[in-house]
Structure 1
């Protein structure tokens, strides 16, 4: 049985964070590690405390994926359902092509978008490429999930036919999934997440719409400009340029270290938190199973997509089968079923964020090199 060496873990994290703060790479951060149901480590550094609330960015996506799986458990949908079953405008989508600097409709998609494609970033819907960049969503169509999804259905050309390529859909894919949850449940997405996930998991500070008291606890958004620390101000937005009224399932939750650790513990415990079975274990198994084979373009040698999560295919710092995700402002978490541990790291910074952030890789290294 592999166990974490607490002294080694603390030394690793303390040393790394001190260097990052000294180099103005972060203003502060927090970290928490659980193993075998016990809290092994909890630390707060720099300008954050246990009361700090963080903009979670794309760490919203696993919450949205779980919402889809809850609706599947309720019999309201299946991940292999066509998206057009819920939003008819997504039937008969076309793939775009850039010709002489202009985006044109090139050919019909070879198949319909399925919910599975959205969950695994293989839908071709506003993926991270030039075709997506040439199709900005007008602000008047970005106010609600309904208006956003309907605009995408009617107007957006796909980058690829579904399941031709795995390419990250930073916003659209999971906002459309959130709209599907609204349709199948009859609830607004913020209400759905609050009642079906946050309340059962004791996550009182996880929300799409912070209260006045919660806004006062939001961690400042750090940036590094010409080697110096600066604070970026985006007003009362949980994610830049995303209205609070949209409840964006891609990026718009805020949370605390302890709140999100409850979510991570539930995933580690196959849907169970504090004796409450939030979702049946087979759905957590479905989430963490690799769903995109190497034959699909865009899948690298070491990792692939589960449902809303990155899944490790080969032992690295992280063990094969580890799953989790990150956020644009530097949030990061992973769940390691083999070593029965989960770990959450939170910062809020424009500098060096996202899934490839140095701080995310350092955190993985610092935790896993302490496993004995």
Structure 2
């Protein structure tokens, strides 16, 4: 017998990573920072408080049948330390409901020295110790987001390299602590750039991230990639899903290893219907890894608008969430 955390046992991280992306089910991103979540609550007419943030996250993760379409839930640190109304911790409650609890470990972005108008994601200081504590609290995976803006000559080579290096250090620290890293390099959709510009930039970013992960000794089979889909800029005409799918998979096949545990796409702020249509088109094409979703706003926005802080509206909010999950949770080719 052993008292070691399951993720630290041989093959444990790989098994956890596979579980996050299997069966066409995805990952629910409920990890908005306190500031961001408070603003979204206020915009919905809900007073911003720790209790309202807790109640909102609890209604999301306790929706009956959520595990039929969701394998894991990403939390922010505040929520990881909170409890359900029945006294269970969020990690224990999510685990009991058949899903994996995860934690966002980055601490946001800061201006990148030497790169005007660009940022680098922070949070590496003390990460090994924090990751070990999150494992002790029940987290099984982690997430770190880096953002890249397309504008003029941006993103710069320096910004791409700096953020790729940070993503790789994060992933290595997490795997050593027993957390599966979700690696999220997001090329933002903001702007009027064409689809082929997004493809070129996304390929640059993913190639740099892959090189950095390899240099850091990160196990790809115990890593989930959370990239943007290759779309045109949000200020241009919306590209057809079939075009998005072809461009996205062309870029991924050219830049990321075949033994990656899986790819869980972010929604990128696109409307729920658009994000779901693009994901469905991507799933129709062959890929060497499981393909699924790790959506936040595209899943939870309808639920927040249905709830608006009213305890009596919890069933309606949960129904709205489940409708969006069902829209995106379809069997992958590997699971068919």
TM-score (norm 1): 0.26
RCO (CA 8 Å, sep 6+): is it higher in 1 or 2? Answer: 1
The structure richer in helix per residue is 2
TM-score (norm 2): 0.28
